[in-house]
Chain A
Amino acid sequence: GAGVSQTPSNKVTEKGKYVELRCDPISGHTALYWYRQSLGQGPEFLIYFQGTGAADDSGLPNDRFFAVRPEGSVSTLKIQRTERGDSAVYLCASSLGHGGNSPLHFGNGTRLTVT
């Protein structure tokens, strides 16, 4: 079956612009995660959804970052007033149940470049 799909695969934007990154999880997976990965680093947790609600958003760096999952499937990560420091690969993952006890299935990520 289809894996986790992220679009776009690459996004270049100018400093100060607004961007939206989309994630289509594996069908039936109730848990969805957003991570951010900089070059040479491990993934850094941003936010975790269980169904439609954000169960843990403690990793969002500031109020410029927001994510939604209105119908419990597709999720959108929104970044306002982008800064050069936001440049990274944004990874989405989904799992059956809580990822603490279930493997995470990752998409290939969206590479965001802020110029």
Chain B
Amino acid sequence: SQQGEEDPQALSIQEGENATMNCSYKTSINNLQWYRQNSGRGLVHLILIRSNEREKHSGRLRVTLDTSKKSSSLLITASRAADTASYFCATVSGYSTLTFGKGTMLLVSP
């Protein structure tokens, strides 16, 4: 089963624009993580945000978490063609393992 659901399913933008992806989940969580996957490759961890945090930054990435709405967003600023990939949110509840959503496919055109 998949708890997180990303929105939109696909996003197409131009280089230099910002990209925003959203994740909604159903049950309470310990933390939420975002991963990136390039075609034919494994997933790469981007950022982890704990349930008591509201915002985290890492380079051009900004993640927010709203536990009252059970949602998170990933913002990529000043996007580049190399950011083209699928992005997944993953949630952890209790002592469970990471549960991934279906992902957002991001296409950044030069």
Interface residues of A (CB under 8 A from B): 4, 33, 35, 40-45, 48, 56, 91, 93, 98-101, 103-109
Contact = CB atoms under 8 A, between A and B. Distances in A.
B95 A42 contact: no
9 smallest CB-CB distances across A and B, nearest first, come from A106-B42, A42-B100, A103-B45, A100-B92, A106-B43, A108-B42, A43-B100, A48-B97, A42-B102
26 contacts: A4-B42, A33-B98, A42-B88, A42-B100, A42-B101, A42-B103, A43-B43, A44-B2, A45-B97, A45-B98, A45-B99, A91-B43, A93-B43, A100-B30, A100-B95, A100-B98, A101-B30, A101-B31, A103-B33, A103-B45, A103-B48, A104-B35, A104-B98, A108-B40, A108-B42, A109-B41
Given A33-B98, A42-B102, A93-B42, 8 more contacts: A33-B97, A41-B2, A42-B88, A45-B97, A100-B95, A100-B96, A100-B98, A109-B41
Interface residues of B, number: 24
B78 interface: no
